[in-house]
Homo-oligomer: A and B are copies of this chain.
């Protein structure tokens, strides 16, 4: 089996175990067992468990960030850009559900430079979503909402997905994103009581 293939096996095993048992609840031995190799062979690919975590989280961060790049440079209405960003986010989560859960919940186990690098990527992504919302406010398309809270509302709804989303269910990621986008853009009320902010 080619060397690259074995490294992918290690990563797939680490993703499955970190997602199921948590980073701290998983040992290198567990990962070697899951990948069907000896711990010694595993160290040919990764020098530490943390290096595996970094690889997983960095790949996920790259998927999220590259997904919203086109929206940041587009001159579409902010509502359309936000909807497209939400679709992109859910596609990454639906396609790489376990890796996305690790990106969301286990990244804080990283230390030193690795943690700094990922924190910067996470901030850049969150800032990109907030920028779309601020553009909408500045263009008068959105109400003068707090972009930080609006971004938190959007991201938290999307990130919660892994708790309940059934990839085999009736709704694909785009349909789910559209449902949430409609709620976030238009709210619950009929508008009869007027916006309070």
Q: Which residues of A contact B (CB under 8 A)?
A: 21-22, 24-25, 77, 79, 82, 105, 133, 136, 140-143, 145-146, 149-150, 152-153, 155-157, 159-161, 164, 176, 179-180, 182-193, 195-197
Contact = CB atoms under 8 A, between A and B. Distances in A.
A196 B186 contact: yes
Contacts of A82: 188
A189 B187 CA distance: 8
A136 to B, nearest CB: 7
A190 B156 contact: no
In order of increasing CB-CB distance, the 10 nearest A-B pairs are A187-B187, A156-B160, A25-B25, A22-B22, A24-B25, A186-B187, A142-B188, A186-B195, A156-B157, A149-B179
B155 A188 contact: no
Interface centre among A141, A146, A176, A188 (most CB of B within 10 A): A188
A183 B186 contact: no
A114 B16 CA distance: 26
